Amino acid sequence: MKHVLINALIGFAKVVGVIVCIAGTYWFFLNRSVNKVTEFCDAIHPGLDVNQISVLATRYDVGSKAIQDPQSVQREQLGVVNQEAENSYFFIVASPLTMGDHACIVYHDYHTVQARDLSGWRE
């Protein structure tokens, strides 16, 4: 009986260890993803040249290929029309592991950044 109990406890400890490793790994990558979006958003400020966005997105390794592409500004493919303001566009850079709950919204006019908003976990 003692041998069975010890084997059960060892098996339970292994399962708990695997769960802790998986949770720790997820937490590490979640925190890393949130930090990258936060740092990107902190680097964006009103008046910034829109051409610098691709440089910052590449530096912080965030956003889609369109945001990281330096030619997206010339092709006017950086964001969608902002219905609330004339001659205004916006795009969103979200942390993928938060399923969009942590995101940076950048408003621009294809010349300069007009505003940015960090929403989610670390506002």
Residue boundaries of the structural domains of the chain: 2-119
Sequence-distant (6+) residues with CB within 8 A of 18 are: none
Structure tokens at 68: 């990281």
Coil, strand or helix: which one is 105? Answer: strand
pLDDT tens string 69-123: 889 888 888 888 888 888 899 999 998 888 778 999 999 999 999 999 998 765 4
What are the two backbone dihedrals, phi and then psi, of residue 85, each rounded to the nearest 5 degrees?
Answer: -145, 140
What are the two backbone dihedrals, phi and then psi, of residue 116, each rounded to the nearest 5 degrees?
Answer: -145, 150
Q: What is the pTM of this model?
A: 0.81
**CB-based burial label for 56 (10 Å; 0-12, 13-18, 19+):** buried
pLDDT tens string 26-73: 999 989 999 999 999 999 999 999 999 999 999 999 988 889 888 988
Structure tokens at 81: 């029309």
